[in-house]
Structure 1
Amino acid sequence: MRAPISVIIPTLDAADVLPGCLSALMEGLEAGLIRELIVSDGGSSDATGALGQAWGAQVLHGDATRGGQLRRGCAAAQGDWLLILHADTRLQPGWSGRMRDHLMADNRAGWCRLKFDGGGVPARLVSGWANLRSRLGLPYGDQGLLLSRELYDAAGGYPDIPLMEDVAIARALRGRLTGIDVTAVTSAEKYRQRGWLRQGARNLWTLLRYRAGADPARLARSYRG
């Protein structure tokens, strides 16, 4: 039987962090769980694409909208299950067995428990809020998402938008999401650069504007600016 999971990673100038993400996935390859690695790149100017190829990934190229990158990656995937990961997220040891248990026993989409790679008390507070928000049905992309191809198609897939694609698919999967006992460690760099309170407030304000109907392209410009 062929391995069930296709891993899709959206990237943009991710050469510094991609090796850590891919290294953590080797556990799944050794366990016969991962069928293929797909790096969906948005026009990197660094060695992201070459690194992906060196690790045996299929590298796709297209516009730098994360929703579009994920949509392209999922369209190319051949696995019965899709594992969506950000390039700066590393699954912690033991993840493969727990994900195998999930896909054998549960047809819901699964998200991982979030942890930051530093930051002390502020990091624990932000990750605690993120994990609570996820239990309420709104996991973000940096927590990883494991879902069957059938469920992905039924939800309509990722919309081709530059921001909030994770919120959009979580809303489409409402009632069909659950936590998996896996820790996903993600980078705290943007919080370190911008400040934990400021970045947290920016994330919440962006979410509220999106839920109120703001244009994702405008939100992306404001968020990244």
Structure 2
Amino acid sequence: MPDNRMPGSNTISVIIPTFNEEARIGATLANVLPQRPAEVLVVDSGSSDATASIAAATAGVQLLQSAKGRARQMNAGAAAARGEWLLFLHADTLLPAGALERIAALPDGVLAGAFRHRFSGDDWRLRLISRLDNTRSRLTKIAFGDQAVFVRRMLFERLGGFPVCEVMEDVAFGEVLRRATTPILLSEEAITDSRKFEQMGVWTSLLRVGVLLACHRLRLPLVGRSFFNEIR
């Protein structure tokens, strides 16, 4: 892909970490590509399904390989990216319409931000969780990864990228980011596939997130590894 970045322009690189996301990566790429980012980088970590082949076969997508771990994958994508803005997008999350234009139009003083969050589907419990999450994000200035976090490249590099940790790399980075700037929360909603919450159970999933946050903030080891098994 030719380097189409102009000095001082607000070009955007979209970085998508993947692992066994064949059921969703196609829709996510179809959502991103018409918005004309500078580039789309899928960073796969050894998927055993068709995720990598779908990405490789999609025009306008650069496929990279990385060691497993979302932080490692996103850092690898950022190192290869060329845009002034870096947008980190989960493989099961869809950007709102016009999202990249919205970011490109932000004034120079804005260095980072994210979108409001919404789960797919109409389950009232998931709508409630999204509202609570958006309130948390607005008050703490820390976004979860499924809010499509974006940050200017120069700041991301200065902060050293995502801390390499097993889980909660988004919160760990958000804590560092908050000390360097005040991230904004855009009103548009990024939509995350609700299947993980539905498969594990909505309230169990909410408890899982709460335990993860508590372990992170109290610097405690994760308890019960089976409790944190991945759902695909």
Common fold by TM > 0.5: yes
The answer as to whether partners of 1:41 and 1:59 remain within 8 angstroms in 2 is: yes
Q: Is the 8 A contact 1:98 1:182 kept in 2?
A: no
User: Given the alignment, which residue of 28, 31, 35 partners 2:35?
Assistant: 28
Letter in structure 2 aligned against 1:13: N
Q: Secondary structure at the match of 2:160?
A: coil
Deviation at 1:142, TM superposition (A): 0.6
Q: CA deviation at 1:79?
A: 1.2
Q: 1:224 matched to which residue of 2?
A: 229
Contact 1:99 1:180 in 2 (8 A): no
User: What is the aligned length?
Assistant: 219
Cα contact 1:4–1:79 (8 A) shared by 2: yes
Q: Which residue of 2 aligns with 1:53?
A: 56
Shift in Å, 1:118: 1.1
CA RMSD of aligned residues (A): 1.9
- 1:153 Cα deviation (Å)? 1.5
Is the 8 Å Cα contact of residues 119 and 188 (structure 1) preserved in structure 2? Answer: no
2:200 to 175, 191, 194: 194
Letter in 2 for 1:45: S
Q: Distance in 1 between matches of 2:11 and 2:77?
A: 16
Structure 1: gaps spanning 5 or more residues: none
Match of 1:6 in 2: 13
Distance in structure 1 (CA, Å) of the matches to 2:42 and 2:98:
23
Does residue 1:112 correspond to 2:115, yes or no? yes
1:22-171 alignment to 2 at 5 Å? 22-29=29-36, 34-55=37-58, 56-102=60-106, 104-135=107-138, 136-171=140-175
Q: Which runs of 4+ in 1 moved over 4 A?
A: 218-222
Structure 1 residue 121: Cα displacement: 0.8
CA contact (8 A) 2:20 2:51 kept: yes
Q: State the alpha-carbon separation in 1 of the partners of residues 92 and 44 from structure 2.
A: 14
Structure 2 gap ranges (5+): none
Name the TM-score, length of structure 2 as normaliser: 0.88
